[in-house]
Amino acid sequence: MIKPLEMKYLYEALGLKKNDTVIVTGAGGKTSFCLELCEELKSRNRIIFTTTTKIFLPEVRKNYKICVGNDFLHKTLTENGAYITGKEENEQGKLLPFSLDDIDSFKEKADYLVIEGDGSRMRPLKGWKETEPVFADRTDKTVGVITIKSLGLKVNDENVHRIELFRKISGAKEDEEVTKQHLFNIINAENGLFKGAKGEKILLINQADSEKEFRDALDLAELLEKENLLPDKIIISSLKEKKYYLLFLQEQEKAVKTGAVIMASGFSGRMGKNKLLLKHKGKTFIESTVDKVLECGFDKIILVTSYKEIEQIFASYVKSSNDFLIVTNKNPTFGLSESIKTGLKELGECDICMFFTGDQPGLTLETIKRILSKAGKNKIIIPKYTGKNGMPTVFGSDFFDELMKLEGDSGGRQIMNSHKESIEYVEINDPLEGFDIDTREDYEYFISKI
């Protein structure tokens, strides 16, 4: 059984990391996919969009930095933004590619590199000739795009680019209606959607704009799961509605018992008053944190605090949920380690524990779920906000004994330093999500930015 997890942003669903190169293949929204990535990332990053084959120059050219010609090879990208580039523009208005060596060099120029790796002549289905897709050597992720709207279409020249190759790969007959089995075959064929794929293989089932189309996309994913032929990741998307769903095997999810510890015992010395009681969008910081954590489906949630005011706020939560517990930190002067140990002791048997502070009001539910999705018993998961380590962090049960031996205010850093091979980082591109508020100036800055 597959479970969809809605993600706020496409780059989050993809799990993009700084300096990733993404090759996009297939049909049914490749260019729209690339432009949406540019749109999400361009305000805080330098992102290059190019091709290894030929693509029409996008209609949004006036809103982006269009750089055609060899001058781009020597250009230093000093400003954030989306740079759409090619070696030249032909008579048909198509961008022609730079050499693969030149394209690989773009990795040093920008924060992200997005490449269209094949063409479909604007048709929803295609077959692949021997010379495509064309991959850059340093590809990190291959995104194979198919459109769920192709179900029921006739297999003919109007709908299919290179129909004979498509028929050979999919098993479809001419004028036959496209079925889920045909799409299944296209995804898994040696000469199909992921032909020659490099890096992580990500299937994007696009144009699931209606409830029926979403259900059809899930059915296709479950067919792949049933045959044990899943790519590394599956995303169901509606680029039109900006809806993105990352799919997980529900059996895998249930096998892990999850716990959360929310640490709310700090002294707020630089703020001059309890910062956890400051308000954002009508809620105190600590209420905002707890409410998001409660939505994540943790098996057990422990709120560790030394403040009566905070205990009073959440007294009703304890009465309404057996999974939520407030524990008093009797020794807050012992530092952050005391909150960690107090919470972990009350958690009971869990496979993983996610540790939260209460002063990250910008943290989103989608980011929490994304970090949690990476967790495992033998892993430490750390979010990076524009390159800087932050919270919440996740520790697998393999590290609980060491956590219980912590002293002072350094948190889990010494354990992280001792187990670097177990660390997995999750890149979060919005620095406001990781912004912790320690002073009145921090608070005013945060409020001014949202």
Report, as an integer, the average pLDDT of 199-223: 96
Res. 341 pLDDT band, cuts 50 70 90 = very high
Q: Count H helices and E strands in the chain, helices first.
A: 15, 25
* pLDDT the model gives residue 206: 97
**CATH code for the structural domain at 2-252:** 3.40.50
Whether residue 58 has pLDDT greater than 50: yes
Q: What pLDDT score was predicted for residue 322?
A: 67
Q: Highest-confidence range of 25-29, 227-231, 434-438, by mean pLDDT?
A: 25-29
Quick check: 211 pLDDT over 70? yes
pTM, full prediction = 0.66
Fold match, 2-252 / 256-449? no
Burial-class residue 268 by CB neighbours within 10 Å (0-12, 13-18, 19+). middle
More confident of the two residues 126 and 358: 126
> Would you kindly state where each structural domain of the chain is located, as residue ranges?
2-252, 256-449
Q: Crossing angle of helices 211-226/180-188, nearest 10°?
A: 50
Higher per-residue pLDDT: 20 or 436: 20
Who's near 125: CB < 8 A, 6+ residues apart? 27, 28, 150, 153, 155, 159, 160, 161, 166, 178, 186
Residue 329, pLDDT above cutoff 50: yes
Q: How far apart, in whole angstroms, are the C-alpha atoms of residue 386 and residue 365?
A: 18
Backbone angles phi, psi at 65, to 5 degrees: -90, 105
Report the mean per-residue pLDDT for the chain: 90
pLDDT at 251: 46
What CATH class has 256-449? alpha beta
User: How many other CB atoms sit within 10 Å of the CB of residue 33?
Assistant: 24
Cα(342)–Cα(321) distance, rounded to whole angstroms?
20
Which helix (H) or strand (E) covers residue 418, if one does? helix 413-418
Query: Per-residue confidence at 72, pLDDT binned at 50, 70, 90?
Result: very high
Mean pLDDT (whole number) for 56-78: 84
List, for residues 242-288, the tens digit of each pLDDT value: 999 999 765 444 457 899 999 998 777 677 678 888 888 888 999 99
- 99: DSSP letter: P
On whether the CB atoms of residues 423 and 382 are closer than 8 A, the answer is yes
C-beta contacts of 241-245 below 8 A and 24+ residues apart: 241/209, 242/36, 243/6, 243/208, 244/6, 244/7, 244/8, 244/9, 244/10, 244/12, 244/13, 245/4, 245/5, 245/6, 245/7, 245/13, 245/214
Residue 430: pLDDT over 90: no
Mean pLDDT of 212-240: 92
The pLDDT confidence band at residue 134, using thresholds 50, 70 and 90, is very high
pLDDT, tens digit (0-9, with 9 covering 90-100), for 11-37: 989 988 888 999 999 999 999 999 999
**Cα-based torsion angle of the residue sequence 123, 127, 132, 135 in order, rounded to the nearest 10 degrees:** 70
How far is 351 from 397, CA to CA, in rounded Å? Answer: 5
CA 349 to chain centre: 29
